[in-house]
Chain A
Amino acid sequence: MALMLILLPIVAGCALFALPRGERLWSRVIGCAVAAATFAVPFLCDDAGGAFSVRWLSRPFTASLHFAWSGVSLWLVLLLALCTFCAIVATNVAQTRTLIALLLLLEGTMMGVFTARDILAFALFWDLMLLPPFFALVEWGTHRETAWRFLIYNFSGGLTLLLATAAFGILSGSTDVIGSTHQFAGSWAPWIFAGFAFAFAVKTPLWPLHTWMPATYADSPPPMVAVISAVQSKAGLYGFIVIGLPFLRTAMADWRGLIVALALVSLLYGAFVALTQTDTKRIVAYSSLSHLGLIVLAIASFNPIALQGAVVYIVAHGLFSAALFLILGYMEEREETRSISKLGGLGANNPKLGGAFTIAALAALGLPGLAGFAGEIVILTGVFKAGYIWPALITLVPIVIASAYMLRLLQDAINGPMIATLPQRRDLTFAEALAVAPLLAALLFIGIYPHAILTAVLR
């Protein structure tokens, strides 16, 4: 069944290319159906995470095409399926068919990353998931360099991941280890961890490897960026959780000081830069840098409570950043600008858009009752408990700043006086509302009942 999660979207994505170029309706219907089906798969099949395993290599190390979900990966699978569904429902760009096909290919390859139980299979899908965003940037991007920057940064990460995988496989004899309690140590371990960590840090991203990120987020079509920021950026965190923490624990402990420092810099830097941006998408992009820094800090604190919080926040961030980017996309489509100095007063005539954006923004700044707060408070407790008192205190600064830049965004775009030159367009359509509603509902659900995820981690 885990194989279904991967193959269904990939096959459907390839099949979509057979539709005529300008097709809109059917590609959306097929795309939504496939995403909904992948969301349903984990509920339909309960046996051992739908495990599927075939021997792949027996020399020079054993490797299997082994896929299953459990704990953290189950939540990421659900998040990915949900975000893909929401991104596809209201996709409306030039060449809609192609974008939906790419979104499905992205979903299938990332399902591979999140369900892989073998590091080699993980590396395979890791590289593969870089292709759909690249082609999206080639087709819809406005700047030539963005696609290059995205690809070269991320594929360099993919290559160090490959080297680390080969070394890990040779020295430990098998890469079919994810989910086991296999421990790996030795004089090579720190370097192998460094190879993995570089890939994960580029993908997350961590300062100073983040420079591809704001441009990519600003330049990609909104449905694509919703999925990338919500789910693809989590692949790096997922890697730290399932590869770094269990197998390379001692090596990770060696690098811990550096990781914590980079996470804190990302937290502060992202927050301060978000304050100064005027492009709506870039504000949210830098806020992502800041929020993901918090999650890395939580993972690097080696504290089980912080880890639980990290998983909650991973899901929460996925939900609100997908919602924010989708709504910003609808806003841009209507007003033809992303500059907050030109936007204003949208809430008066577009109550649904304004309301949805407000909820997502409040979740992002950590309002209690929404998912963001649940994650933050658990993370802070854990980090504090792990003895990182100063980092925990420093973390409070960007959380306060988050209120500032999110409220600034809300104030300038949704509230405030209406701007006469801004075209008056209609409110969210039914499809657009359908795209945002599940994300907001999930934010509320997890905000009230984070226990659902907290227990999943312990299992």
Chain B
Amino acid sequence: MPNFITHEDWLAILPLLIVGGGALVVLLVDLVWPKHAPRYVSLAIGIAVLLVAGTFAATTYGRSYNAFNGGFMLGGFAVVFQEIIVVSAMFSLALFATFGRADRMAGITALMLWSTSGAMLMAGAANLMTIFLGLELLSLALYCLCGLADRPASQESALKYLILSSTASGFLLFGMALLFGATGSVTLASLALPALISNPLYWLGGGFFLIGIAFKLSLMPFHVWSPDVYEGAPLPVTAFMSVVTKAGTLAVFARFAYVVPNGHALLLPFFIIAGISMIGGNLAMLAQTDLKRLLAYSGVAQAGYMVAALAGASALGIRYAIYYLGAYMFMNLGAFAVVALLSTDREEGAQIAAFRGLAQRRPGLAAAMSFFLLALAGFPPTAGFLGKILILSANVNAGFAWLAVLLIAGTAISLYAYFKVIRLMYDRHELPGPTVGTRAPLAYAGVALCVIFVLAMTFYPLTPSNVLPLAK
């Protein structure tokens, strides 16, 4: 095995180098600009950097390359996850147009970019070290971003996230150490040895590893951080976290799930947790009064759906998980963009009561919000509907019909929670809430784009082939 690094290796991680380096450019521009760089300059550089990185990553689609001695895999699903991460980072950055202090915008943009590069690293990570590196890069930047707003809740959320997430990282790292002990290697490919089944270290290490993953995916018993953190963090950061953290972690989980021997026995508890998330996340949604918390619990359930798609590690399952993740990205970011349009930096309009009578004040926004909530609930003709049916069929096909039944039950429960908001917007008996909010053109464009994509994905279901989570 050649033990040196070629330029090919650097080329493989060029997209994330662009993103990481772009962050430095943003900071430099801010430095040389008299006083501070204006808000739009930082954001424009950030979005441009992401566009370049996204375009470059797209050119590697279908190319298979094993960089850094199996530390980073090009090919398979890596590029699809990277695109999802880049697109959602762009959306979230665009939402910053009306949030946060202008003089901090360069720092915010840089942190977002670093966080994005961490998630992109996770998308291609194929050994335990790069997984951890990516995860920490993602999380460290997020800790800072969560505490950005000048509200006590924001600082509280940052601290909570730091403590709980570090604990989870501890579990993950411990699991990795045990897995290393079992195999003597850090590459995921070495986990494929069937002989491992008789090794208790493998079971213990795998268990700890999965607990860490479940925490980052906010699956049900490990989800308690997510509503509090989502509620306190500034809105664009919440939007970013809700998709990017899930995307990066789902990529890691998929790579792990498709490689371990005797996956059924080790992963079965994980799929049970996914089932619990579908029911519990949707049940908890019923009691929420804050939309960010509601979307946090919705995210718990949706993560459950995505993990469920992977049950049985079928070739179709991963495609549908990716499809659903893409759909979830647009539905979720669209909903956050609507909330952003109803908020000012001082006052986030995320209280569900703020949606009262919205249809009379801003009918277009009310219609868009209803559309996204319907999509999250799985109503046709949205990508949420098709995504659910694809996951259901993958489950039935893989012999996990019980997960399909749980999915249906969870969806039935979620209906009331989503429709509560929709009804509040349209009910003429409700007194209209106060009219706050902005009319940022960027956020409007985001809402429109999300609507178009959610609709288009229904009738042109792009489920990219050639997306198996390679590990060798």
B residues in contact with A120, CB < 8 Å: 389
- Asked whether, in the complex, the Cβ of B385 is within 8 Å of the Cβ of A124, the reply is yes
- A60: which of B390, B401, B405, B408 is its contact (CB, 8 Å)? B390
Q: Are B385 and A127 interface neighbours, CB within 8 A?
A: yes
A-B CB proximity, top 7 nearest: A166-B392, A124-B380, A166-B393, A60-B393, A170-B393, A159-B408, A170-B396
| A152-B415, A166-B389 known; A60-B423 Cβ under 8 A | no
Q: Are A125 and B380 touching (Cβ within 8 A)?
A: yes
- Given the contacts A138-B423, A156-B412, A61 and B385 also touching, CB distance less than 8 Å: no
| A127 and B393 contacting across the interface, CB-CB below 8 Å | no
Q: Which of B390, B396, B459 has the most CB of A within 10 A?
A: B396
Taking a contact as CB atoms under 8 Å apart, the answer to whether B415 and A155 are in contact is: yes
**Cross-chain pairs A/B with CB under 8 angstroms, 30 sampled:** A56-B461, A60-B390, A60-B394, A65-B459, A123-B389, A124-B381, A125-B380, A127-B379, A127-B380, A127-B385, A131-B379, A134-B419, A135-B426, A138-B423, A138-B426, A139-B428, A151-B419, A152-B416, A156-B412, A162-B385, A162-B388, A162-B408, A163-B392, A163-B405, A166-B392, A166-B393, A167-B392, A170-B393, A170-B396, A170-B397
Judging by beta carbons under 8 Å apart, are A128 and B463 in contact? Answer: no
Interface residues in B424-439 by Cβ distance below 8 A to A read: 426-428
CA distance A166 to B388 in the complex (A): 9
- The count of chain A contact residues (Cβ–Cβ below 8 Å) is 34
With the chains together, A135 CA to B426 CA distance in Å? 8
The digit string for B45-81, where 1 denotes a CB below 8 A from any CB of A, is 0000000000000000000000000000000000000
| Residue of B with least CB distance to A157 | B412
Q: Does B155 contact A (CB under 8 A)?
A: no
B404 within 8 A of A: yes
> B459 contacts A163, CB within 8 Å?
no
When distances are taken between beta carbons in the complex, the residues of chain B under 8 Å from A127 are 379-380, 385
Alpha-carbon separation in the docked complex, A167 to B392 (Å): 8
Bound together, the chains give a CA A424 to CA B363 distance in angstroms of 40
Q: Indicate whether A159 sits within 8 Å of B412 (C-beta atoms), given known contacts A128-B381, A139-B426, A139-B428.
A: yes
Q: Measured between C-beta atoms, what is the minimum distance from A174 to chain B in Å?
A: 12
* A7-24 to B contact mask, C-beta < 8 Å, 1/0: 000000000010000000
A171 and B428 alpha carbons, distance in the complex (Å):
46
Chain B minimum-CB-distance residue to A195: B408
* Contact between A128 and B393, CB atoms less than 8 A apart: no
A-B contact count (CB 8 A): 76
**Could you say which residues of chain A place their CB within 8 Å of the CB of B389?**
120, 123, 162, 165-166
Contact of A162 among B392, B416, B423, B463 (CB under 8 A): B392
Mask: chain A, 169-182; 1 = CB below 8 Å from B; 0 = not: 11100000000000
Interface presence of A148 (CB below 8 A): yes
- CB interface residues, B 369-427, toward A, < 8 Å: 374, 378-381, 385, 388-390, 392-394, 396-397, 401, 404-405, 408, 411-412, 415-416, 419, 423, 426-427
Nearest chain A residue, comparing its CB with the CB of B427: A138
- B contact residues around A171 at 8 Å (CB): 396
Q: Is B316 an interface residue (CB 8 A)?
A: yes
**B195-246: which residues lie under 8 A (CB-CB) from chain A?**
none
Query: Is A426 an interface residue, CB under 8 A from the partner?
Result: no
Does A459 belong to the interface (CB within 8 Å)? Answer: no
* Cα A170 to Cα B374 with chains together (Å): 25
A160 within 8 A of B: yes
Residue A40 CB within 8 A of the other chain: no
Could you tell me which residues of chain A, from 361 to 379, have a CB within 8 Å of some CB in chain B?
Answer: none
Cα–Cα, bound, A34→B15 (Å): 53
Smallest Cβ-Cβ distance to B425: which chain A residue = A138
In the complex, per-residue mask of A120-149: 1 if CB is within 8 Å of any chain B CB, else 0? 100111011001001100110000000110
